[in-house]
């Protein structure tokens, strides 16, 4: 799986959009971009994933650049409960289905009141 | 609660003792994963099962570690002769995978709250 690079930490004001960047310049054509987050003392939580197109769900939006070498996770209206470590993961789907997740150190997002 | 559950939530043990953790996945999920997470790091994959079969083990899973999923439901992770370096959070995750003719169906991994192990 391709390597990802994320900033170590970021701050965001409550109610504002949080934009979390991720670089994955060695991504292959069949690799997806996944985002998970981990709130303190909890297990990781799936947020969103995408291949080429931008994706949106009830939690967040994922913007993938046209060359797929980077992406941005957007939390449109950050709340204090969004304070967590956010992991960007690049992952290939094998024929055998879900593969284990390879986590980096992630970005620690602090939402400030 | 229909999420992934893990027991115990915390375990303190002395070096050299054996410990066992239990994971109960979401009931319809046929895949179960174990990860380990040390302070300041992201989780690291240890092993996973599809039903009762252990399909993959990472190099992190030394001979002192053994995982089972005897009936394809809950799973146990045992660490024998614990060492201080085993101190970590042990996370369990589950997912559903179904292979259909001409296609596949799978869901994402849902994680439990973890078992925090402290080896003194």
Tens-digit pLDDT profile for residues B30-82: 999 999 999 999 999 999 999 999 999 999 889 999 999 998 899 999 999 99
Residue B98 has pLDDT above 80, yes or no: no
Q: Tell me the average pLDDT of chain A.
A: 92
Q: Does A100 touch chain B (CB under 8 A)?
A: yes
Count the neighbouring beta carbons within 10 Å of the beta carbon of residue A7. 14
Residues of B in contact with A100 (CB under 8 A): 33, 35, 45, 48, 56, 58
Q: Average of pLDDT values for A14-42?
A: 94
Q: Identify all chain B residues contacting A102, using CB atoms and an 8 Å cutoff.
A: 45
Residue A5 pLDDT > 90: yes
Rounded mean pLDDT of B4-20?
A: 97
Contact state of B97 with A98 under an 8 Å Cβ cutoff = yes
pLDDT value at residue B28: 86
**The pair of three-digit structure tokens given for residue B90, joined into one six-digit string:** 């042990």
State the residue for tokens 């409550």: A14
Minimal C-alpha gap between B40 and chain A (Å): 7
Which chain B residues touch A33 with a CB distance below 8 Å? none
Three-state SS at B86: helix
Q: Chain B within 8 Å of A29 (Cβ-Cβ)? A: no
Q: Judge whether A89 and B88 are in contact, CB under 8 Å.
A: no
Whether the Cβ atoms of residue B105 and residue B85 lie closer than 8 Å to each other: no
Nearest to B114 by CA among B93, B90, B95, B94: B90
The Cα B22–Cα B115 span in angstroms is 9
Q: What's the pLDDT at A29?
A: 86
pLDDT for the residue A6: 97
Does B42 touch chain A if contact means CB atoms closer than 8 Å? yes
DSSP state of B27: T
Task: Calculate the alpha carbon distances from B120 to A41, B4, B78, B84 in Å.
Answer: 21, 28, 17, 6
The answer to whether residue B8 scores a pLDDT higher than 80 is yes
Residue B77: what pLDDT? 98
Q: pLDDT value at position A97? A: 62
Per-residue pLDDT, A95: 62
Contact with chain B for residue A42, Cβ under 8 A: yes
| pLDDT score, position B57 | 92
**Chain A residues inside the 8 Å CB shell of B92:** 43
Residue of B41, B43, B50 best to disrupt the A interface, most CBs of A under 10 A: B43
What confidence category does residue A41 fall into, taking pLDDT thresholds of 50, 70 and 90? confident
Give the nearest chain A residue to B104 (CA atoms): A97
Q: What's the pLDDT tens digit per position in B58-70? A: 998 899 999 999 9
pLDDT in tens, A66-103: 999 999 999 999 999 999 999 999 987 666 666 788 99
A46 CB neighbours in chain B (<8 A) are: 108-110
Check CB contact under 8 Å for A43 and B106: no
């Amino acid at each position: 799986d391709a390597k990802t690079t994320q900033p170590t930490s970021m701050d965001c004001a409550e109610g504002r959009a949080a934009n979390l960047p991720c670089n994955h310049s060695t991504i292959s054509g069949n690799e997806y971009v996944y985002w998970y987050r981990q709130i303190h003392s909890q297990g990781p939580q799936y947020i969103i994933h995408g291949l080429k197109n931008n994706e949106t769900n009830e939690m967040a939006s994922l913007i993938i650049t046209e060359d797929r070498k980077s992406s941005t996770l957007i939390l449109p209206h950050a709340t204090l409960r969004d304070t967590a470590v956010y992991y960007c993961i690049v992952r290939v789907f094998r024929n055998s289905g879900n593969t284990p997740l390879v986590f980096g150190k992630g970005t620690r997002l602090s939402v400030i009141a | 609660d229909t999420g992934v559950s893990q027991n115990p939530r915390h375990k303190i043990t002395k070096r050299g003792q054996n410990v066992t953790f239990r994971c109960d996945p979401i009931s319809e999920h046929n895949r179960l994963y174990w990860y380990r997470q040390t302070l300041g790091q992201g989780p690291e994959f240890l092993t996973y099962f599809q039903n009762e079969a252990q399909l993959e083990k990472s190099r992190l899973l030394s001979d002192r570690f053994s995982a089972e999923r005897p009936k394809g439901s809950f799973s146990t992770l045992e660490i024998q002769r614990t060492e201080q370096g085993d101190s970590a959070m042990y996370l369990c995750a589950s997912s559903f995978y179904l292979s259909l003719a001409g296609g596949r169906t799978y869901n994402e991994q849902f994680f439990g709250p973890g078992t925090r192990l402290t080896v003194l």
